[in-house]
Amino acid sequence: MCAMQNKEELLIDVLDDDGIRTGETCSRKEIHKLGKIHRAIHLYLFDESNRLLLQRRSIHVDHYPGMFSISLTGHVDAGERSSEALHREIREELGFDPRSMKIDFLFSFKQNIRISPDYIDHQFNDIYACWYDFNIGDVLFDLNAINEVKLVSCSEFKAMIANRKTIFAQIYSREGADMMYFLRSRLDSIVRT
């Protein structure tokens, strides 16, 4: 059971093994400390030249500090739908208007990984992809959470997820490979090596 939360703290719905709400809510910190199942969103954002936006996490964040991560990740707040969370995170974390973006839902999967003694990722991840006309300079990001953003080609991304010695957070490797699988018809000519 989660402790009483501060009224200003955002809460996250706790889910059962099937991804259905239990009626319990926890703060982000508690949900990871206790390893409670919850839902998160992941976005793979490509520019018009088929380059993927990656973000380098700050050294001050609680997991994968200093490593490159996918375009966008976030938690689904209590009472919020996955697509609503995605739109909120796009506005907050990238500074884009999601209403002008064509976003595709790709797949969902359950993940259970202990990142540290106090951080357990036990969640359903909803995976989305989008092609959007933007320049890297248009991306607004929080310098407390992200050190930099960069665009990589699909072949560079494929090499990053295959090489365990890169500074890419390997937690996204299997998911990234599946994302490329589902987008293969669009990416085929780009990814060939």
Domain residue ranges of the chain, discontinuous segments joined by +: 40-104+127-188
pLDDT tens, N- to C-terminus, the chain (193 residues): 776 556 567 999 999 999 999 999 999 999 999 999 999 999 999 999 999 999 999 999 888 899 999 999 999 999 999 999 999 999 999 999 999 999 999 999 999 999 889 999 999 999 999 999 999 999 998 888 899 999 999 999 999 999 888 899 989 999 999 999 999 877 765 444 4
Q: Give backbone dihedrals phi and psi of 21, rounded to 5 degrees, phi first.
A: -60, 140
Q: Full-prediction pTM beyond 0.75? A: yes
Predicted local confidence at residue 7, as pLDDT? 58
Contact call for residues 37 and 48 (beta carbons, < 8 A): no
Specify the DSSP class assigned to residue 172: G
Predicted local confidence at residue 4, as pLDDT? 57
Q: Which CATH class is domain 40-104+127-188?
A: alpha beta
Strand 119-131 with 38-46, pairing? parallel
